[in-house]
Chain A
Amino acid sequence: DAGVIQSPRHEVTEMGQEVTLRCKPISGHDYLFWYRQTMMRGLELLIYFNNNVPIDDSGMPEDRFSAKMPNASFSTLKIQPSEPRDSAVYFCASSQTGVVYEQYFGPGTRLTVT
């Protein structure tokens, strides 16, 4: 398997613009997680899905953030409108129900909002 795939790898946008980050989990994994990493706050869980259903979105910072998982092989994280404080690295991870639940991370999307 190719692992967790994220796109784009880098995104530079102006304040106020809409940003869409994409993730393809590992085939067969039924959990999908979105994280954000900054120097100040470290790694934070934003939202996670199980079988395409959002389970916990308590980490989503505000209404400007939304996430969807229309099918088992694709998820999006959208920021509208974007702000400079949203600049961070956004990671997607997936795992599979079972004995281990090991999470596998994608390479991340580095977002810069100017």
Chain B
Amino acid sequence: KQEVTQIPAALSVPEGENLVLNCSFTDSAIYNLQWFRQDPGKGLTSLLLIQSSQREQTSGRLNASLDKSSGRSTLYIAASQPGDSATYLCAALNAGGTSYGKLTFGQGTILTVHP
């Protein structure tokens, strides 16, 4: 059974800092890995998706990497801003067997960027 863990659970940083959010998964047979952002009381917004054959994806100040063999992904946020404050969730899409198409989520990292 796939398990996804995110570290740290919460992070508070001053504006302008570069930061790294970590995600680990137990079953390396994944199809892709998605990073989402969730603002309080809102739905999930997809930030980046890395396919299993890829090593990283970039969008603006965000960069996500994937190391399938070690079961790890990181989300790098450059020059953080107060508007980046949100909960960040990673999710692994299982491949094969009866779990195909199933996203397993981590518990999330609550990020606070203070001015």
Residues on A facing B (Cβ under 8 Å): 31, 33, 42-43, 45, 48, 50, 55-56, 91, 93, 95, 99-108, 110
- Among B36, B43, B101, the residue within 8 A (CB) of A101 is B101
Question: How far is A106 from B106 in the complex, measured between Cα atoms in Å?
Answer: 19
A29 nearest CB across to chain B (Å)? 12
Q: List 29 A-B contacts (CB under 8 A).
A: A31-B101, A42-B105, A42-B106, A43-B89, A43-B91, A45-B102, A45-B104, A48-B102, A56-B102, A91-B43, A93-B44, A99-B51, A100-B32, A100-B49, A100-B51, A101-B93, A101-B101, A102-B32, A102-B34, A102-B49, A103-B34, A104-B46, A105-B36, A105-B43, A105-B44, A106-B43, A107-B42, A107-B43, A108-B42
- Among B41, B51, B101, B105, the residue within 8 A (CB) of A50 is B101
Residues on B facing A (Cβ under 8 Å): 31-32, 34, 36, 41-46, 49, 51, 89, 91, 93, 98-99, 101-108
A48-B102, A50-B101, A95-B101 in contact; A42/B44 too (CB < 8 A)?
A: no
